[in-house]
Structure 1
Amino acid sequence: MNFLYLILCILLGYLLGSIPFALVIGKVFYKTDIRQYGSGNLGGTNAGRVLGRNAGISVIACDILKVVLAMGLASLIDGSCSIWCGVACCIGHCYPIFAHFKGGKAVSTMFGFLVSLWFFTFHDISYALVPLGMFLIILFIFKYVSLASICASIASCMYISARVLSLALNPIFIVLASWIMMFLIIYRHRSNIQKIMNATENKISWL
């Protein structure tokens, strides 16, 4: 892994991740700064809650695609660099330089990371389907996006760790990246965890 390439890919990932599509879509198409409404979070869930289902889906799609774009470009340089580019993209989404470092909670970008692992690394759709299945099951049962997101990140981390280790693959950095992703999502949802415990967390209604 070339160190200069690694730095460039991390920078690319962070800058693309910092594009706040929830803010852009809200202001351009709805004349609304969603930071002033709902949870104030620059993510698909709050966009859907404040602006409606179409806006929420659009934000989610854009947030997924920005990670796929970042990792796709980085994979042209070095496959190892693309993994860290994806992690940097998720961090940029949470702490965007273009929105005063106050962004989303990395749920959509996590799925963008997993889709990219499917496309560019493992060529195996199960890396995206397993956490997506967990997300949908938990969301259907409890109606908490936050809880579904946390469970999906844990399922993803466990699945990647088990597959990589069982296949005796060398890129252990993929396992490390998946653990970083899981802890990032749990950390970003710490207030939601407290609300769930207090039975004050909002349930999804726009899906």
Structure 2
Amino acid sequence: MISVYSISAVILAYLFGSIPTAVWLGQAFYGVDVREYGSGNAGATNTFRVLGKRAGMAVMTIDIAKGFTATKLAYFIGLSITGPQHSPQFINYQLALGLTAVMGHLFPVFAGFRGGKGVATLFGMILAVNPDAAMLCVIVFVVVLLTTKYVSLSSICAGFTFPLSIVFVFHSSVKSEVLYGMCVCILIMITHQKNLERLLKGKESKVYLFKKKST
């Protein structure tokens, strides 16, 4: 049943997602709009490239928190609407709030609807809904990043890990969660289209977590 509370939660989730962390942090502390440099995206990866590791880590942490917090709103509002937690209805409500936050990150009202690619916010949502699958995604992301130095490829591989893990590892019986996992893959592929083109051409930028050894 749709209520004022559920509508308010969706609006609040969108506003959480719309917080343009990379833009505000860059402008406040560096006098730089990260959307004018690098890949032009207002996300953690481009912040790493343009402003460095410290700023990138701050943006990534806050963007994850946006998705996590928006999804967790279901615990304050959804129980009276959907019934007990872990029920399909409750998970559906969580997914709706999380996806709304992701859309806010992609199209932030506070930054002229020019946002990032939503990977960190997506991860925050996954962490809130299925923390075990989220940790598996982290492992895949880190392994691919350390091996290839490509954040985009790491994000894509981690994105595909989520639906595969909930089906074959955790055996989720909630159809909407499986469908959401498939949507995550599609969304990541769409938002990383240019990255895929650069990867195929060998022109994608690498990110080094540690300083390169001098030769």
TM-score band by shorter chain is 0.7 to 0.9
Amino acid at match of 1:85: L
Does residue 107 (structure 1) correspond to residue 155 (structure 2)? The answer is: no
- 1:206 to partner: Cα distance: 5.1
Match for residue 127 of structure 1? 133
Contact 1:70–1:89, Cα closer than 8 Å, also in 2: yes
Does residue 187 (structure 1) correspond to residue 195 (structure 2)? The answer is: no
Paired with 1:43 and 1:205, the residues of 2 have a C-alpha distance of: 17
Does residue 141 (structure 1) correspond to residue 147 (structure 2)? The answer is: yes
Partner SS, residue 3 of structure 1: coil
Amino acid at match of 1:52: G
Paired with 1:9 and 1:181, the residues of 2 have a C-alpha distance of: 22
Contact 2:94–2:129, Cα closer than 8 Å, also in 1: no
TM-score (norm 2): 0.85
Match for residue 122 of structure 1? none
Match for residue 105 of structure 2? 93
Match for residue 168 of structure 2? 162
Paired with 1:108 and 1:33, the residues of 2 have a C-alpha distance of: 19
Partner SS, residue 114 of structure 2: coil
Amino acid at match of 2:200: M
Paired with 1:150 and 1:60, the residues of 2 have a C-alpha distance of: 16
Moved over 4 A (4+): none
Amino acid at match of 1:197: L
Match for residue 208 of structure 2? 205
Q: Label 1:6 to 1:184 Cα distance change in 2 as closer, same or farther (>3 A).
A: farther
- 1:75 to partner: Cα distance: 2.6
Does residue 172 (structure 1) correspond to residue 175 (structure 2)? The answer is: yes
Q: Is 105-114 or 4-13 further displaced after alignment?
A: 4-13
Match for residue 150 of structure 1? 156
Contact 1:52–1:206, Cα closer than 8 Å, also in 2: no
Amino acid at match of 2:112: H
Report how many residues are paired. Answer: 197
- 1:36 to partner: Cα distance: 1.3
Which consecutive residues of structure 1, in runs of 5 or more, have no partner in the other structure?
119-124
Paired with 1:106 and 1:6, the residues of 2 have a C-alpha distance of: 23
Contact 1:20–1:99, Cα closer than 8 Å, also in 2: yes
Which consecutive residues of structure 2, in runs of 5 or more, have no partner in the other structure?
79-89, 211-215
